[in-house]
């Protein structure tokens, strides 16, 4: 009888460490497979609605135009101001005080000599400029009918009884404003860089200073003329403010517009200085 025995089958796991590794692998591998399968399924399904919406929004922002186009009726753009408004905006600087030999509002004798020429002749002179008064009172934005209305207002304030010219018919105003029936205005997407003080300074300049400074009337330093403004810049802003507030030479106090505040005067001086720096 033989003493040989059949060989015994040994387990590959021989230590506790190997057992732990086998257990961990048996859990981790199935989890990884599940995650990979889920990701593959999502990719095959395509982008979600939320992702598509976000992508479309990003594209819209990139191709957004720099400005916005607004179509408006051209007849709405033409607004004719009355004589009082135009006078206070462009004529009061000289005609309120009689500066530069301008006929003073309320002076019946001075205006009486002019009324004999008629409204058409006086309007034509004001449009072209006469003696020390620049064309259109130094404000090119004033229309012919507005100039006529301002003259009528000043005449009537000085004892006259003229009728204010009627505003042009809408069709005529439209034809004068543009050949088309509508005007297109482009509004910039970004806000204007001009600050409130600068805008106020320009407004005061247009209404009370342009009449003399735009053409250099009566020795007034011409707007934008660096050589003329150089000695005044050396004197400093405070000196310029004081000169305009009190008046100097042919320039009346506050440019002839007593309704201006000190802040208005300073803003207009700052505006003119900004044009020569």
pLDDT at 68 > cutoff 70: no
CB atoms closer than 10 angstroms to residue 246: 11
pLDDT at 23 > cutoff 70: yes
Domain count within the chain:
2
Whole-structure pTM value: 0.48
Provide the pLDDT for residue 50. Answer: 55
- pLDDT band at 36, cuts 50/70/90? confident
Domain that holds residue 181: 76-187
Mean pLDDT computed over 266-272: 87
Provide the pLDDT for residue 152. Answer: 92
Distance CA 27, CA 204 (A): 83
Mean pLDDT computed over 225-248: 85
Structure-derived torsion over alpha carbons of residues 63, 64, 68, 71, reported in degrees to the nearest 10: 50
Contacts of 244 (CB under 8 A, 6+ apart): 251, 253, 254, 255, 265, 268, 269
Domain end among 187, 210, 245: 187
Mean pLDDT computed over 92-108: 85
Domain end among 148, 169, 187: 187
Ranges 44-58, 130-144, 178-192, 219-233: which has the least confidence: 178-192
In a domain, 137, yes or no: yes
């Amino acid at each position: 009888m033989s003493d040989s025995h059949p060989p015994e089958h040994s387990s590959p796991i021989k230590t506790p460490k190997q057992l732990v590794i086998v257990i961990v692998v048996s859990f981790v591998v199935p989890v990884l497979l599940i995650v990979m399968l889920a990701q593959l399924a999502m990719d095959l399904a395509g982008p979600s609605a939320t992702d598509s919406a976000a992508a479309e929004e990003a594209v819209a922002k990139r191709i957004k135009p720099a400005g916005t186009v607004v179509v408006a009726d051209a007849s709405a753009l033409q607004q004719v101001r009355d004589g009082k408004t135009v006078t206070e905006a462009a004529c009061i600087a000289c005609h309120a005080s009689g500066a530069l030999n301008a006929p003073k509002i309320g002076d019946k004798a001075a205006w009486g000599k002019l009324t004999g020429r008629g409204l058409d002749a006086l309007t034509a002179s004001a449009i072209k400029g006469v003696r020390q008064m620049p064309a259109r009172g130094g404000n090119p934005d004033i229309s012919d009918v507005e100039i006529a209305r301002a003259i009528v207002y000043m005449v009537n304030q000085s004892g006259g009884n003229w009728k204010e010219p009627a505003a042009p018919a809408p069709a005529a105003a439209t034809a004068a404003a543009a050949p088309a029936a509508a005007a297109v205005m482009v509004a910039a997407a970004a806000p204007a860089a001009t600050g409130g003080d600068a805008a106020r300074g320009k407004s005061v300049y247009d209404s009370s200073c342009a009449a003399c400074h735009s053409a250099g009337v009566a020795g007034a330093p011409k707007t934008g003329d660096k050589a003329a403004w150089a000695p005044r810049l050396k004197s400093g802003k405070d000196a310029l403010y004081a000169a305009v507030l009190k008046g100097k030479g042919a320039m009346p106090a506050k440019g002839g517009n007593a309704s201006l505040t000190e802040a208005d005067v300073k803003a207009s001086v700052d505006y003119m200085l900004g044009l020569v720096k």
